[in-house]
Copies of this chain bind each other. A is one copy, B any other.
């Protein structure tokens, strides 16, 4: 039996677009539309509902961005596979006032109150399940785990047409018989300089840009260059807690000694850095969104950091990994913009802006001849690791505005997902939520490393992967305790279910 797919109520004062999105989402969450079901073409649905086709296109696009639909060129749009919800039996706590399931149930409840005015049939029989099964849409034992470990952006909004066009254009170029230029293609460096001006307010000539294979490559390159600049074995201060891979890359690739510096709610404690004797040769910091705690270094502290660098002749490596996504408060200037003395190196990457699948990032070198010569010497031996054709495609994506448009669309999605995190996890006594002012991850504090370990294990058991804060410690066993959650990658529906499970696990760990 075919059921109604969608109802539009012209008496409803919500805009048509909102009704379209909510109606379709409801259809999917209620089980009326199931994983793999094809949707009508945008043209057919627009005709049936008597709405503009552009409204339907926008609604499909939004739902695809949220993960409810799969849009594929040349094939019908279909309902995506959704995450399995928390099993009812696991719901031991009746006191979770704002789990992610809340909004979902509200939407489903809305079905009853809506007055059908126009109906559209699906091509597939509606299941028996009604509102009670809302959470189970598309779910089942075969649903994949939801990976909430930080570091992954959403690629759902990527403009596939622009992506393919960029690679097609790049593949038309003649194929040189040489390695790409050591610092990257001049055209790409110019586009990155332009991108930095727009997206980050950093003004630099293309000559300052070095194309990298991402942040690890940048850190490795700087580690090798620092060895040349310093002569002996350099010492590099790192944030504690901080980015563990970068710390290990420094230690392994450059055989450097790292010195942990504690982090407060704003970011690195400059007083602690200043107290280190002898002063380290460099410091690796994440001032825009401390990784992982999420603090943002105030301008005064940034200036103090640069003063320290100048006084001690040290370099500051600024890992600016997700500053494009700022949810609360204005973006603060990069250290590179505040630095007048040639000490700050900006490390940027398209891993969060587009996808880490690309392995493409960049450095911005300060006017520091010794550092520049050392970086050039390292690249001369090791060559630029980024394929020439990938540089050409990235140039195209930047030049055509595809990257700018993608950031704008992703920013909206991330802001929405962030509210899901706040709705599900904010205000738990003994488990403070933090780090949400910018970026793509949040931290839930917990009373002990043991409690955090229990939450991580419990969640892994129900298919939700999160990272314990202890993984980021630069001093084993020390540092704040809690869990880190990346919320950018899973579509809304999967994220909401997973956050409900996180809430349950945290409640359990707190003995509730």
Which A residues lie at the B interface, using CB under 8 A?
A: 152-155, 158, 160, 163-164, 166-168, 170-172, 174-180, 213-214, 216-217, 220, 224, 227-228, 233, 244-245, 248-249, 252-255, 351, 354-360, 378, 380-390, 488-489
Contacts and interface: CB of A to CB of B under 8 A. Distances in A.
Contact of A170 (B155, B167, B172, B252): B167
Given A214-B385, A220-B220, A387-B387, 6 more contacts: A164-B171, A164-B172, A227-B255, A245-B381, A253-B253, A357-B389
Copies per complex of this chain: 2
B381 A177 contact: no
A385 B384 CA distance: 11
Contacts of A389: 167, 357-358, 390
Q: Which of A214, A357, A360 has the most CB of B within 10 A?
A: A357
A357 B216 contact: no
A390 B391 CA distance: 11
A411 to B, nearest CB: 16
Q: Which of A220, A249, A389 has the most CB of B within 10 A?
A: A389
Contacts of A382: 216-217, 220, 245, 249, 253
Nearest to A256: B255
A387 B172 contact: no
Nearest to A174: B155
Contacts of A390: 387, 389-390
A252 B378 contact: yes
Given A252-B227, A385-B217, A385-B359, A158 B178 contact: no
A164 B356 CA distance: 23
Nearest to A166: B171
Contacts of A380: 245
Contacts of A164: 168, 171-172
Contacts of A360: 387
B359 A248 contact: no
Nearest to A394: B387
B167 A171 contact: yes
Contact of A177 (B175, B217, B384, B489): B489
A166 B155 CA distance: 22
Given A167-B170, A179-B359, A355-B176, A385 B387 contact: no
B163 A177 contact: no
B386 A180 contact: no
Contact of A249 (B153, B381, B388): B381
A163 B176 CA distance: 13
A381 B220 CA distance: 11
A105 to B, nearest CB: 28
Q: Which of A152, A249, A390 has the most CB of B within 10 A?
A: A390
Nearest to A154: B177
Given A171-B164, A389-B167, A180 B252 contact: no
Contacts of A489: 177
14 contacts: A155-B175, A164-B168, A167-B389, A216-B381, A216-B382, A220-B220, A227-B252, A228-B252, A245-B381, A252-B254, A252-B381, A359-B386, A359-B388, A387-B390
A443 to B, nearest CB: 21
Nearest to A164: B171
Contacts of A175: 155, 158, 160, 163, 354-355, 357
A201 B452 CA distance: 52
A386 B180 CA distance: 14
A81 to B, nearest CB: 13
B168 A152 contact: no
Contacts of A384: 359
A188 to B, nearest CB: 14
Nearest to A168: B168
Contact of A155 (B177, B179, B228): B177
Nearest to A227: B252
A357 B252 contact: no
B177 A357 contact: yes
Given A167-B168, A171-B167, A252-B224, A385 B177 contact: no
